[in-house]
Structure 1
Amino acid sequence: MSKPLVIFGSAEMAELAKFYFEHDSSRKVVAFTVDDAYVKEDQFQGLPLVPFSEVARRYPADAYDMHVALSYAKLNRLRQEKYEQAKAAGYTLASYVCSKSATWPDLAIGDNCFILENQTIQPTVRIGNNVMIWSGNHLGHGTEIGDHTYIASHVVISGHCKIGQRNFFGVNSTLRDFCNIGDDCFIAMGASVARDMPSGSVALAPQAEVYEADDRRAKALKRMYFKI
């Protein structure tokens, strides 16, 4: 039997974590916690909101697990900091993998991961600790994803890629097979990466050109495609 769960966070990500854990796992969420300075009310989502300085007394680590539900602020450093804070307090950090995703029995996954629906995760993929993967991605066979990384939606990571820590992959970004990505990289929305990226680097995609309705190019294209 899984232990009851305390969620670290009191914003949208924590609300979503509560929904997914309660609707698609055996976990029961019993409380939320945040750093003391951020406690403005005594409840969140109808459950107790407890200052972190008190959580171990009210919800001890031997009887409760925790999940840190924070996003990619400060290029995932904030989520890493609170993950380490919860670990230091003795908590086991629960992971969530949506049942509406395609995975294989050999999937290796760390703690405090949050992996949403409609993933295609191929054989021999390894996912580190505290990784957040939004909906609808492809993770190719043999790929390794380092700790504290965030992957948005509709990302394609091809086979045998090695991805370091605290990286961010934007919506619709693509990684060619056998790429090595260092730590603290930002791969922006729509970027297609076909070579290794050293730590701290950034990949941007060209932006689409937008023509206003009265622009001659907009009018010509509408005539060509839609006869208007």
Structure 2
Amino acid sequence: MKSNKVIIFGVLDTAELAYYYLTNDSDYEVIAFTLTKDYIDKVEFCGLPVVAFEDLESLFPPENYLLFCPMTAKKMNTLREKIYLEGKKKGYKFATYISSKATIFNNEIGENCFILEDNTIQPFTKIGNNVVLWSGNHIGHHGEIKDHVFFTSHVVMSGHCIIESHCFFGVNATIRDYSTIGKGTLIAMGACLTKQSTEEWSVYAGNPAKRLGEKKSYDLY
């Protein structure tokens, strides 16, 4: 019997995927789903109860259950950050899922991370809290990914990179070695970043990647 009981936040595709991964490829047992009251329009999801986030502590006390919040990167990860921090205030510890088909090397990885199959995380790179690595990314050695970051798929992050919080990386983006990616940077799909730093809350696209004027990442995604 699985001993780590988890409540998943959300009832959309990402929550359904999280339920599948946790059920079939982890030691976690999903007990229920949760959502803020205003958004609840069903009583069950994946055959499990859907309960109000506002009432969660009384139904599933934080000393007995973990919370998992595998939300998307909308509003540059700030929506996922908000729920994560509210869960922390309620006293919950968070699950982290690392696919059995990912390659890791005793990396330091925080809580509420969702790391899917075919990610390679090389030695001496640290990953913070509330980070999503979708499938198939290369995360280079001696780097750091800070909190509330989202990598889509097939992103190459070369060695010795620092990724500040709230960044987003589109499919097939490439980041050169020794780069520092400023807080809230959006690296567009297929972009090749040859510079070694970016401006906070900025957008970079193209090959080589260039900043898109004064556009702010949180206004676009």
Instruction: Note whether the superposition's TM-score is higher than 0.5.
Output: yes
Hey, which bits of structure 1, 4+ residues long, moved more than 4 A?
none
User: Which amino acid is 1:37 matched to?
Assistant: D
Q: Give the whole-Å Cα distance in 2 for the aligned partners of 1:66 and 1:134.
A: 20
- Where does 1:176-215 land on structure 2 (aligned, <5 Å)? 176-195=176-195, 196-205=197-206
Deviation sequence 1:136-162 (CA, Å, 0-9, x none): 010110110010000010000000000
Residue 173 of structure 1 pairs with residue 173 of structure 2: yes
- Which residue of structure 1 aligns with residue 146 of structure 2? 146
Structure number with greater Rg is: 1
User: Which amino acid is 2:130 matched to?
Assistant: N
Q: Give the whole-Å Cα distance in 2 for the aligned partners of 1:31 and 1:87.
A: 18
- Where does 1:122-161 land on structure 2 (aligned, <5 Å)? 122-161=122-161
> Across the two proteins, how many residue pairs are aligned to each other?
205
Q: Give the whole-Å Cα distance in 2 for the aligned partners of 1:100 and 1:2.
A: 22
User: Which amino acid is 2:57 matched to?
Assistant: A
Q: Give the whole-Å Cα distance in 2 for the aligned partners of 1:121 and 1:87.
A: 27
Question: Where does the alignment leave 5 or more consecutive residues of structure 2 unmatched?
Answer: 208-221
Q: Give the whole-Å Cα distance in 1 for the aligned partners of 2:24 and 2:99.
A: 10
What secondary structure sits across from 2:104 in the alignment?
A: coil
- Where does 1:28-107 land on structure 2 (aligned, <5 Å)? 28-105=29-106, 107=107
What secondary structure sits across from 1:108 in the alignment?
A: coil
Identity %: 44
Deviation sequence 1:76-99 (CA, Å, 0-9, x none): 110000000111111110000101
**CA separation of 1:2/1:205 partners in 2, compared to 1, >3 Å: closer, same or farther?**
farther
- Which residue of structure 2 aligns with residue 109 of structure 1? 109
Q: TM-score scaled by structure 1?
A: 0.88
Per the TM alignment, residue 45 of structure 1 is displaced from its structure 2 partner at its CA by 1.1
What secondary structure sits across from 1:177 in the alignment?
A: coil
What secondary structure sits across from 2:50 in the alignment?
A: strand
Per the TM alignment, residue 3 of structure 1 is displaced from its structure 2 partner at its CA by 2.4
Per the TM alignment, residue 2 of structure 1 is displaced from its structure 2 partner at its CA by 3.9
Deviation sequence 1:119-143 (CA, Å, 0-9, x none): 1111001001000000001011011
Residue 20 of structure 1 pairs with residue 4 of structure 2: no
What secondary structure sits across from 2:55 in the alignment?
A: helix
Q: TM-score scaled by structure 2?
A: 0.91
* Aligned-residue RMSD, C-alpha: 1.0
What secondary structure sits across from 1:4 in the alignment?
A: strand
The answer to whether the Cα contact below 8 Å between 2:43 and 2:50 also exists between their aligned partners in 1 is: yes
User: Which amino acid is 1:104 matched to?
Assistant: F
User: Which amino acid is 1:151 matched to?
Assistant: F
What secondary structure sits across from 1:55 in the alignment?
A: helix
Question: Where does the alignment leave 5 or more consecutive residues of structure 1 unmatched?
Answer: 207-228
What secondary structure sits across from 2:92 in the alignment?
A: coil
What secondary structure sits across from 1:85 in the alignment?
A: helix
